[in-house]
Amino acid sequence: THFGFETVPEEEKAKRVYKVFENVAQKYDIMNDAMSFGIHRLWKDALLHIMHPQPGARLLDVAGGTGDIAFRFMDYIHSQQEKQERLRVQSMQTPSWQDISDKYSTEDEGGPQESTAVICDINKEMLKVGKQKAESMGVSAGLSWVVGDAEELPFDDDQFDIYTIAFGIRNVTHIDQALQEALRVLKPGGRFMCLEFSKVTNPVLARLYDAYSFQIIPALGEVIAGDWKSYQYLVESIRKFPDQEEFKGMIEDAGFYRVQYYNLTGGVVALHSGFKL
């Protein structure tokens, strides 16, 4: 075929993936908006809505790139905290000594702990862009940026409440290995959540989507980032990724429970979720 990456041997894949994201890092956010008409924002919002994290939760966002998921996570937590605070104030008629002491105590065991998010990515260029973004928006608190491979995470066992991977797992060479690692670093009761391009279920949408992705995406890549090949790779990797049911089976095989998925935008993207027991 005319798609040059299809014949890439397995051991070459990681190198190619690294080059792709090294090349696009500076333009990554703009390209995301341009290629998805901004819809990737809705998919990421949907992830947070279904996750519904509570204050104190610890997130690990693997293949976290420029930090989109982690930023949304912190945002969501802060809005939850504000909501809880409003409810508390409403339910208080006269504040008791306990209420006041709760509010001002810094070492209160019962109070909500600070949430943290670790953004882990194999590509330091992507992380660099994310870190700069966090600094310029003044939202660095609680975030840490760690270079690491999804197949061999640099974290101890049973550390995180939530593991996310958004548009990352299809880039990983051994998906089963990445799933094993997700299971290992999650606390018992912790949740695995994955956003990934999937199989479009509506046949009309499927034809439009095919035409769009094979013809327009590499062209946009050329125009905006001066990089046709990287975006051609992107489209091919989407093609090759297992469909909703097959991926669900892989997550179950890795040892997760209550695995389910949600189709977003007619299956253009699927959100898979599972729990560690």
Residue 197 in 3-state DSSP? strand
Interface with ligand SAM by CB under 6 A: which range of 47-55, 93-101, 164-172, 214-222?
164-172
Nearest to ligand SAM of 62, 251 (CB atom): 62
Tell me if 108 is assigned to a ligand binding site: no
- CB under 8 Å to 212, separation ≥6 — which residues? none
Could you tell me which residues are beta bridge partners of residue 193? 164, 273
Nearest to ligand SAM of 21, 256 (CB atom): 21
Q: Which of 5, 71, 163, 167 binds ligand SAM (CB under 6 A)?
A: 167
Q: Which of 122, 134, 162, 269 binds ligand SAM (CB under 6 A)?
A: 122
Binding mask 1-40 for ligand SAM (x = CB under 6 A): ----------------x---x-------------------
Angle between helices 228-240 and 217-225 (to 10 degrees): 150
Beta pairing, strands 257-264 & 269-275: antiparallel
Distance CA(124)–CA(129), nearest Å, equals 9
Tell me if 157 is assigned to a ligand binding site: no
From first CA to last CA, the distance across the chain in angstroms is 45
Cβ atoms within 10 Å of 109's Cβ, excluding its own: 6
Q: How far is the CB of 128 from ligand SAM (least distance, A)?
A: 11
Distances (CA, A) of 69 to 41, 46, 133, 195: 10, 11, 13, 10
Residues 170-189 that bind ligand SAM (CB under 6 A): 171-172
- Our CA angle for 268, 272, 277, nearest 5°, is 180
Tell me if 121 is assigned to a ligand binding site: yes
Q: How far is the CB of 116 from ligand SAM (least distance, A)?
A: 17
Nearest residue by C-beta to ligand SAM? 65
Binding mask 137-156 for ligand SAM (x = CB under 6 A): ------------xxx-----
Distance CA(33)–CA(160), nearest Å, equals 30
Q: How far is the CB of 122 from ligand SAM (least distance, A)?
A: 4
121 binds ligand SAM (CB under 6 A): yes
Q: Which of 35, 47, 59, 68 binds ligand SAM (CB under 6 A)?
A: 68
What b/e string do you get for 150-171 counting C-beta neighbours within 10 Å, with b at 16 or more?
bbebebeeebbbbbbbbbbbbb
Residues 48-67 that bind ligand SAM (CB under 6 A): 62-65
- CB under 8 Å to 62, separation ≥6 — which residues? 120, 121, 148, 150, 153, 163, 164, 165, 168, 178, 182
Residues making up the annotated binding site are 66, 121, 149-150
Residues making up the annotated binding site for S-adenosyl-L-methionine are 66, 121, 149-150
Given the rule CB under 6 A, which residues bind ligand SAM?
Answer: 17, 21, 62-65, 68-69, 121-123, 126, 149-151, 166-168, 171-172
